[in-house]
Structure 1
């Protein structure tokens, strides 16, 4: 099972609450952020499961990398500088959609990802 760490944060401008998701769980870099549309931290916590189902990749549905135990194969969203692993997806189109939403220097590469880490190796297909 993929492990995320989530924190609810109050937006200073709107006084609304949003969710920051960190992956891997010990990361200091935000993996995804929800819109600031919750009235309270409790409401954000109650709605997190729906947010997670909508935007967080399910790494467990990806094929195992036969050459690396504990790694999965797919289309990753990455930024090289500074390094940020934005997720890995079974479908290249989904990865491209996520990369476009993240903006900047994100690209889609096929390869292998070590679950519960931000490790990724590009693989030629």
Structure 2
């Protein structure tokens, strides 16, 4: 096993039992399904460089074209990945509580320029 594979596996294990290693867009990443329609992808950590920072993506939906990136957190130190992932879990729960837990509502929140009166005025 390569050093970068070992480091990825160790990081995944340190995050807890809910995290797995998967391949997304040809990259080995750490993944967690939050079980509420949202999931987190931890990218940029399949490396042997211990100081390499991660990018975390909060996704809604499971497959294209219905999935959306809801939030991106960049430049996350390895030691903070678990905390940032938990913040994203809380954020997803807040979105659901505020009525923004479905794809259409999330799309409108993320891209208001493409929805409603703004979209009609441009046509």
- Of Structure 1 and Structure 2, the greater helix share is in 2
- Of Structure 1 and Structure 2, the greater strand share is in 1
TM-score above 0.5, yes or no: no
Specify the structure having the higher radius of gyration (Cα). 2
Give the structure-1-normalised TM-score.
0.39
Give the structure-2-normalised TM-score.
0.40
